[in-house]
Amino acid sequence: MHYRQLGRTGLNVSVIGFGGIPIQRVSQEEATAIVHRALDKGINFFDTARGYTDSEAKLGEVFKNCRSKVIIATKSMARTKDGMAADIKKSLDTLGVDYIDLYQLHNVKDRAALEQVFKPDGALAALKEAKKAGVIKHIGITGHIRDYLVEALKSGELETVQFPFNAVEAGGAQELFDQAEQARAGIIIMKPLAGGAIRNTNLALRFILEHNVSTVIPGMDSPVQVDENAMAGQELLPLSAAEKKVLDEESGTLGAVFCRRCEYCQPCPQGIDIPTVFLLDGYYTRYDLKDWAKERYRALPTKADSCAECGECEEKCPYNLPIRRMLAESAIRLGK
């Protein structure tokens, strides 16, 4: 396994990391076997979150016997100082560790959230206090909307940035790459397989590793997936022209029905959070996290079946997606 430095943190992380979302759907016994296989393959960077149900707990059960071998990253949607402080404590307790290597502001997706976390009583203040106390070592941010991540990095407060980047969602990322380099922030790539939509795993991961990223964190829920993902980080072979053509052709087939979560479709006149609906639908259809996706869908204040079919979203979508049809299909699946 190859390793790269995670920005200015000084941490050397495996170029293939471990995404902790799919671990929710396996037993503790299975999770233990999967994590040990990852460790055997040289994977040392594990990413989870407060919001991933029992992901922290399952990983923590393994980490208590091999803490020195792993770099733990987790994250919270808390926006206030008190809320983040509480979540940091919960993560420490759930993971069963004395410190967490990287704690991230999770899914900062709009200006209100960005401004709130940077306020004196915002989430960043709690993270800085926890870092001073030694219970977290480094602070990062995650999100899908690149403009807000670029702005956040300009603060100089953040040591890492995590965002989606893959063969489908490659366009428009250069500004964020450049800002991360300027800030000496480590780059963590999530959704490397476009939420499971890209099936040619090896080519997809190698495509990303040709860029100046620190680590890529595909989700894994079986030892076979670990083996397949780890292979891409062992030799760092650039894509041949023929391989690039194969990946381009597969990515092109997703273009008609794939939401990149750019949020140009927002706001919806009916109040539907369209990108979130499609994100949850992806968890339902591609990750097989049906119950988890439906539970979160039920918590949305406005459901997909509230669509009035006005078409404003489709007029604003830069990818010309058939959003009205996609919402109707999502409503059927998630509303069961």
How far apart, in whole angstroms, are the C-alpha atoms of residue 155 and residue 26?
39
pLDDT tens string 161-171: 999 999 988 87
Which of 117-121, 164-168, 225-229 shows the lowest mean pLDDT across its residues? Answer: 164-168
The string of DSSP letters for 294-309 reads: HHHHHTSSS-GGG---
Return the number of other C-beta atoms located less than 10 Å from residue 39's C-beta: 18
What dotted CATH number matches 3-246? 3.20.20.100
pLDDT tens string 7-34: 999 999 999 999 998 898 899 999 999 9
Are the C-beta atoms of 143 and 137 separated by less than 8 Å?
A: no
254, pLDDT greater than 90? no
Domain boundaries, the chain: 3-246, 274-334
Residue 336 buriedness (CB in 10 A; 0-12 / 13-18 / 19+): exposed
Mean pLDDT of 138-143: 96
Mean pLDDT of 245-268: 81
Reported confidence tier of residue 255, pLDDT bands at 50, 70, 90: low
Mean pLDDT of 318-322: 82
State both tokens at 198.
Answer: 């890209």
256, pLDDT greater than 80? no
Mean pLDDT of 44-53: 94
54, pLDDT greater than 70? yes
Residue tagged 């300009």 (tokens): 154
Q: Name the pTM for this structure.
A: 0.85
Reported confidence tier of residue 283, pLDDT bands at 50, 70, 90: confident
